[in-house]
Amino acid sequence: MRCVCLAKVPIVDADTCIGCALCASICPGTFEMEADGKSHVKNPAGEPEAKIQEAIDACPVKAIAWKQ
Ligand code: F3S
């Protein structure tokens, strides 16, 4: 069985997210847009850490952060 103990996981601040969907387009395995129009983490290890960092950096309102 694959280890799911992650050093850090991405979290989306739903109050800050404006639903631009950039994160879900960069990391479709990690983020998904839901009915509320906001991004949610569907799998914190959906992409390699560097790719998730790319999505974090791309978010125009900095709604994504690492939770250590
Ligand atoms: Fe929201 Fe930022 Fe993603 S605005 S949809 S968390 S890129």
Which residue is it, tokens 């983490």?
41
What is the band of 3 on the pLDDT scale with cuts at 50, 70, 90?
low
DSSP 3-state of 65 = strand
C-beta of 27 in contact with ligand 1 (< 6 A):
no
Tell me what pLDDT residue 26 has: 98
DSSP 3-state of 12 = strand
Tell me what pLDDT residue 63 has: 98
What is the band of 6 on the pLDDT scale with cuts at 50, 70, 90?
low
CATH topology of domain 9-67: Alpha-Beta Plaits (3.30.70)
Dihedral sign, Cα of residue 10, residue 14, residue 15, residue 16: positive
C-beta of 14 in contact with ligand 1 (< 6 A):
no
Q: How far is the CA of 32 from the centre of ligand 1 (A)?
A: 10
Read off the pLDDT of residues 37-66 as tens digits, 9 standing for 90 and up: 999 999 999 999 999 999 999 999 999 999
Element holding 41 (H helix, E strand): strand 39-41
- pTM, full prediction: 0.90
d(CA 14, CA 16): 5
